[in-house]
Chains A and B, each alone.
Chain A
């Protein structure tokens, strides 16, 4: 069935450095790829998304890249700050349903 793999499961970076989280998907019909940030005890929040007709999208310090041929997409966070500490989830969709990755716990070291 449809599957999304996400790596790494935990990522620790120094404040100010960049963080990269990678996801691969199995369904070649997937055409929508959102990223969610979830802080402890709070709801998942959509931070950026990309559709299959675009290779890259940027919003201030965050960017997402998509390689449809390889079926993988990545989240890039530059100049990381303490408030970026959270669990990040990728997802892929070909219709109404999101297939979720297992999440990456991002730790920003001061």
Chain B
């Protein structure tokens, strides 16, 4: 499969726990994006990487959220001390330098109890 992949697909956790999600972009894409989506809403931008550099982070992202892309390939998104309001679908997308088209992974659905 040469598309964007995400792991896990579903995560149920208790409030206060830490969770980490992984995204593997399309191999030749150097740009990687994280979004959050709640039911009935459009994707909400969280952060953006070009290669290993995190170039932008949404003001909406609290300091409990951190993302890395250490080797410019896969990325991880960590949420510390999860809250019920963090329950959402977390989407990853990637694009190439030359073209803006963003291709999405299947998402990780997080449920915080």
Contact = CB atoms under 8 A, between A and B. Distances in A.
Interface of A: 32, 34, 42-46, 49, 89, 93, 96-98, 100-103
A32 B107 CA distance: 24
B103 A46 contact: yes
Contacts of A44: 43, 91, 104
Contacts of A103: 40-42
Nearest to B95: A96
Nearest to B42: A100
A1 to B, nearest CB: 11
B42 A97 contact: no
B102 interface: yes
A98 B102 contact: yes
Contacts of B48: 96-97
Nearest to B109: A41
A103 B40 CA distance: 8
B100 interface: yes
A102 B105 contact: no
B45 interface: yes
Nearest to A51: B100
B75 to A, nearest CB: 15
A96 B41 CA distance: 21
Given A89-B42, A102-B41, A43 B91 contact: yes
What are the 10 A-B residue pairs with the smallest beta carbon separation, nearest first? A100-B42, A43-B104, A32-B100, A44-B104, A103-B42, A43-B106, A89-B42, A93-B100, A102-B42, A46-B101
Contacts of B103: 46
B28 interface: no
